[in-house]
Amino acid sequence: MTADFAKTLISAESLGADDVTDFLGVSFSVTDYVGHFYGPSSLEAEDNLMQLDRTLADLFAYLDAHVGLENTLIVLSADHGAPEAPGYLHELGARGDYVTPDDWNVADAMQTIKDRFGITGVLFEGYDHPYLTLSEAVRSDVSIDRMALETAIADQLVEFEGVAYAIPSSRLRNGALPDNALMRAILNNYHPKRSGDIHLVFQPDWFINDMDGLSVTVTHGSPWRYDTFVPIMFAGPNLVAQSVSRRVHTVDVALTLSVIAGTRPPTGATGDVLLEVLGQ
């Protein structure tokens, strides 16, 4: 495998805009970065897909020469969908806009909450989408009713433009939420040791503004269908060409591959085996 081809496989998830430019020599040349900052109808996205097609063609040619495509199962998927950018939606007369949390005037509301719960120091540690995180001092104060505090903050946050829901993590931990598809998606996003304290859900087609100096078209963490609808494609020997319309999940891929390979399923794996891939 050539060095140039290997380079195209490097994700920009951990790279800033300047890092990407310095590393590749051109701006926004990495698939992951383009996917987050441009809508699928943009010229940037179309060019990105063309480059990706060439990369995949090189990969498949390499596999055919060294392994044989008759011995290869190819699986393609994605980690989230690709909604249109608000600017393009506006051209079509549709909804959509950007959310800029830094511009929210939260001082009065948060001071009221601090007075109510006897908090004198810093209330928040920061915001890492989609979670707002309380300060360590507040988190470690056993005299504070965390569920009541998080609920009070959430009630204030839903009043701001672009916010659909604000979900206290304490309610996620205790299961004190309605049992519906939206809340189950938010619960799936929650990790007790890594997640923040209030999960923010923006209105459909509203996206966070100013990430790395740019307006983001799509980010991880949205429960809306346009972000959760992703392709899963299998191609290989002995597969029957077909389209599956029933709802499946990306976590089904690992279990399906383990059955095909005859190995034990990954520890902690969830989902179901895709029987269509097995010819059943």
Range of the domain at 160: 98-203
Are 244 and 199 within one domain?
no
Are 166 and 102 within one domain?
yes
Are 188 and 263 within one domain?
no
Count of structural domains within the chain? 2
CA-to-CA dists, residue 255 to 55, 59, 264, 279, angstroms: 27, 24, 9, 15
- Looking at residue 123, its pLDDT comes to 93
Residue 121 has pLDDT above 80, yes or no: yes
pLDDT in tens, 128-182: 888 999 999 999 999 999 999 999 999 999 999 889 999 999 999 988 888 998 8
Q: HEC profile for 105-157?
A: CCHHHHHHHHHHHCCCCCCEEEEECCEEEECHHHHCCCCCCHHHHHHHHHHHH
Mean pLDDT to the nearest integer, 249-255: 93
Q: What is the DSSP track for 225-257?
A: HHHH----EEE-TTPPP----S---TTHHHHHH
Q: CA 260, CA 166: separation in Å to the nearest integer?
A: 42
- Which CATH number do you get for residue 168? 3.30.1360.150
- Looking at residue 207, its pLDDT comes to 84
Region of poorest pLDDT, from 10-19, 89-98, 142-151? 10-19
What SS3 state is found at 263? coil
Residue 105 has pLDDT above 60, yes or no: yes
Q: CA 277, CA 231: separation in Å to the nearest integer?
A: 15
In a domain, 70, yes or no: no
In a domain, 18, yes or no: no
Which of 203, 222, 256 is the last residue in one of the domains? 203
Give the helix/strand (H/E) hosting 209: none
User: To the nearest 5 percent, what fractions of the chain are helix, strand and coil?
Assistant: 40, 10, 50
Are 191 and 127 within one domain?
yes
pLDDT in tens, 210-235: 666 666 776 666 888 888 888 899 99
Are 102 and 199 within one domain?
yes
In a domain, 72, yes or no: no
In a domain, 34, yes or no: no
Are 183 and 250 within one domain?
no
How many residues are there in the chain? 280
Are 272 and 199 within one domain?
no
In a domain, 190, yes or no: yes
Residue 27 has pLDDT above 50, yes or no: no
- Looking at residue 169, its pLDDT comes to 95
Are 194 and 263 within one domain?
no
How crowded is residue 156: how many other Cβ atoms within 10 Å of its Cβ?
18
pTM: predicted TM-score of the whole model, two decimal places = 0.76
Q: Is the dihedral of CA 277, 181, 152, 192 positive or negative?
A: negative
pLDDT in tens, 253-270: 999 999 999 999 988 888
pLDDT in tens, 58-70: 999 999 999 999 9
- Looking at residue 42, its pLDDT comes to 85
Residue 36 has pLDDT above 90, yes or no: no
In a domain, 71, yes or no: no
Are 107 and 189 within one domain?
yes
CA-to-CA dists, residue 231 to 4, 8, 46, 79, 234, angstroms: 27, 21, 17, 9, 10
Which tokens hold the place of 31?
């698939």
Q: CA 34, CA 25: separation in Å to the nearest integer?
A: 15
In a domain, 1, yes or no: no
Residue 242 has pLDDT above 70, yes or no: yes
Are 256 and 191 within one domain?
no
- Looking at residue 48, its pLDDT comes to 84
